[in-house]
Structures are given as C-alpha cells and as structure tokens.
Structure 1
Amino acid sequence: MDTAMFLMGLRYVINLESFPLFCIYLLMIFFSGYWQKWTKPLNLKPLLILHNFICCVTSTYTLYGFIHGVYKSGHLYSKEITEELRFVFWVYYITKIIELLDTVFMVLRHRRRQISFLHVYHHSSMLLLSNLGHLYFPYPCIAVFLSLNSLVHVVLYFYYGLTAMVPNNPPQWRKQLTQMQIIQFLIDFVVAFYGFVYHNFCLYSLFYGITMTSLFSNFYYQAYVRKRKQPEDKIKSN
C-alpha cells in the first residue's frame, strides 16, 4: 500500500466533523467500567423500543433512496454525483450517529459484556466512513454497498425493537439475522473486487470487507457452532 495514499486518507479522516465524536465514543467505552462500578443499571425499555423502531424506519428510507439513486444513474458502478443522492448519504450518516446510542444504552444498562470488539469496530468505523462518503464520495457505486447495509439494518432494528418490547420472548431468528449480515459482506466483497479490477475502486473497500466478513464469521462460529458443541451444562443463554 502506498504510504502517501495512506497518509492522505488519514488526513481526510482526522479532518472529518465526525472525528471528535469518534474519539468521545471510544473514551466513553474506555471509562464505562467506572460508570458500572458507581451506578445502578437503568431501565430504558420505552426508550429502547422508540430508538430501535426509529432506526428501522430511517434505514427503510435510506434503502429506498439508495436504490432509487442507483437506478436513476443507470450504471451500478457510476461515479456521477447528484444532489438527491447526496442528501440520502447525509441521512445515512445521521443514522450512524443515532446508532451510537446502541452502545450508550449498553453502558447505562450495565451490559458492557455486549460491547465486543466487533461492536465497537463496526459502529466507530461506519461513523467515519459514512461521513467520508457523504462529503467526498456520494456516488451510486458506493450507494450499492450502503443499500445492502440499510436493508440489513431494517431487519436488524426491527428485531431489536421486538426484543425490547418482549425481552423474555425475543424473535427466534437471530441466527438467520447473523447469516444475513455475513451474506451482505460477501456480496459487498464480490462487488468491490469487480470494481477494483474493472472500475478503479480503491483497495480499502476490499480490506474493510475482509475485516467485517472475518469478524462476523467468527461471531457466528462462537455463538452458533462452537456453542452447540459444548456440553449443555456449560451453555449460558444471553
């Protein structure tokens, strides 16, 4: 990888308006243990229900907006910027800020064990990447990836919303949801690889796709494959 390109990309990230929030987010997680030590867990059920269904609705909007923008462009790998698509990119970026509340609620409810590396990496990286996309790359070819992510998030936050409503009897398709996420990243990788070979896509999209596929696949293995192989008396429900 070219060092000059890496440093240029790093400069873009540091200058993003979302970078201070990114730093605050990581600091909050770092000091969250003290919050759990000095406070009692909060009951946020109504707020969780509202938050999850708002995220579900906004993801539905961005899903439609991205699909419509790609369709109007006439080409899956188009790099033509339109104000309509730029606005959808902005809404998508705002949703990534709102989704940081997932972690805030985990801290307030003393659910720090749920704040895994995958969780932090996914939320923090998407915050920066969505901001970067909105400002510099609101292309139809990028909207393809974000439309898939929006589709997954429609289902994801609908699942979370139902779980928040009836925590003792959540939907029984959590495993299928994780499979859907992995399939999303596999499709992303194929689209990005073709774009890299034939449409001058940058190498970063491939690296990011590999990291996300690896992390979600490992989560799937730990949660549904390795766990099933363990003796029943060692299995603990979430």
Structure 2
Amino acid sequence: MDNITDNTSNMAWYSKGVVDYVDNWFLMSTPWPVIAIWLTYIAFVLKLGPSYMSKRPAYHLKNTLLLYNISQVVLSAYIFNYGVDILSNWGLVSSQCATEGKDSQHYILRGVYIYFLAKVSELLDTVFFVLRKKMNQVTFLHVYHHSLMMLSTWCAIKYNPTDAVVFLGTINSLVHVVMYGYYGLSAYPSLAKYLWWKKYITSFQLVSIVFLPPCIPSLFNDAQYLVCHQI
C-alpha cells in the first residue's frame, strides 16, 4: 500500500494525493496552482478583461480562433479515443476491481489527467469572448461550468480517482469534437452555408447529459479500484 494514503478523511486540503505518482504531475502537487489559475480566470473574465476592453475595439482573432479550435478538436478526439479504449477494456463503470496492476491504474489516471489539462485550456473560451467583446456569452452558467469542470476533475484525480469519470469524460469529449469543429468553421462567414448542423449541437449536449445518472453512484466510492488493489 505504498501509494495509498492511510488518511482518507478530511483530504480537501491535504497536499498528498491518493496515488503517489500523481503528486509529481504538472499542477497536481498541491491545490494552490489550480486555484490560482481559477482565481485569475474569474478576475479576468468578470472584472479585469471587461475593464480593459471597455474603451477598445473588439479583437477579431480569426486565425487565433481557427488554430485554437482545431487544437481543441484534435485534443478532444484524442481523449475520446483514449476513453473508448479504456471502456472497451474495463467496461462502463466497475462494480469491483476493474484493473489489474499498477500499469493499468497509471493508464487510466493518465487519461483522466489529459482530460483535466483540456479543461484548463478550455478556460480560453471565455477569455476569447471577453477580447471579442461578446459579453452576452459570458453567462453565469458558462463561467460556472468551466470552473466546475476544471476544479472537480482535479479533485477526482487527486483525492478520488474512480474510473467512473472515464465514461463522462469520453462522452463530453465527443461533444467537444463537434462543438469546437463548429466554432472553428464559423469564424469564416463563407462557410456558413455548410454549418446547417449548428442547431443540433445543443440537442447533442443535452442528450449526453442523459448518460450521467448511471455513473453518479460510483463517483463517491472512495477510489474503489485503487483501494481494492491496495497497490
């Protein structure tokens, strides 16, 4: 049990995670780096950014947005493929020890970690809204969603690394392939006639939420596949 901590209670601010090697990953040693990113994000999108842009024309950022959205499509497609591989090998949500050995444990956690890094990068969505003076899109729900996804995924990796989050991340990444694909193409008005599928994106997002309930119970199983193996 070298990499399983004895103290699993009151871990919200405990700097050591459930799995030792996770502590060595970028942004994972303590909560403070990710909290600093979040606070900077909140300060910029709600106060500093709007104040900076108040007397400036909107930035167009066409090429930047194209590169950003292509990168997000590629990253989301990679995570989706990674998640499908995990699910095909270990199932939807494990009810018992789902993996065998440290290698499979590391493989699953690495996938969740890549998903977390994607959530950090997606904070730029809101930053670009502010720089383009599209404040009508900086809604409470938008900011709350981006904040929650980043912070909750960090906590899942650090303190409760259950494989239940894999299915949620896989579905979410598929949605993002479509969503960022649309955003990238919509930056070019000449392509508007090819974006007839825009109206289906919201429906796709809502349908993906239907898959959430089966996974919820396992999200609170105290890192079941790690404790079960006692590696």
| TM value normalised by structure 2 | 0.73
- Alpha-carbon distance in structure 2 between the residues aligned to 1:25 and 1:176: 30
TM-fit CA distance, 1:185: 1.0
- Alpha-carbon distance in structure 1 between the residues aligned to 2:131 and 2:91: 46
TM-fit CA distance, 1:167: 7.0
| Conserved 8 A contact 2:11-2:159 | no
Equivalent position to 1:17, from 17, 33, 54: 33
1:46-81, Cα deviation, whole Å (9 max, x unpaired): 000110110011001111111211222246225656
For residues 48-127 of structure 1, what are the structure 2 equivalents within 5 Å? 48-74=65-91, 76-77=93-94, 80=99, 82-127=105-150
For residues 21-32 of structure 1, what are the structure 2 equivalents within 5 Å? 21-31=37-47, 32=49
TM-fit CA distance, 1:136: 3.2
Unaligned runs of 5+ in 1: 1-6, 204-238
Which runs of 4 or more aligned residues in structure 1 lie more than 6 Å from their structure 2 counterparts after TM superposition?
none
Distance 1:184 1:94, change over 3 A: same
Which residue matches 2:199? 175
TM-fit CA distance, 1:160: 0.8
Size of the alignment, in residue pairs?
A: 191
For residues 188-207 of structure 1, what are the structure 2 equivalents within 5 Å? 188-189=212-213, 191-192=214-215, 196=217, 201-202=219-220
Unaligned runs of 5+ in 2: 1-8, 16-29, 222-231
Greater RCO, CA 8 A, separation 6+: 2
Aligned-residue CA RMSD (Å): 2.6
TM-fit CA distance, 1:15: 2.8
TM-fit CA distance, 1:9: 7.0
Which residue matches 2:225? none
Distance 1:39 1:12, change over 3 A: farther
Matched-pair identity in %: 28
| TM value normalised by structure 1 | 0.71
Looking at secondary structure, tell me which structure has more helix per residue: 1
| Conserved 8 A contact 2:119-2:146 | yes
Name whichever of 149-158 and 129-138 sits farther off. Answer: 129-138
TM-fit CA distance, 1:12: 6.5
TM-fit CA distance, 1:86: 1.4
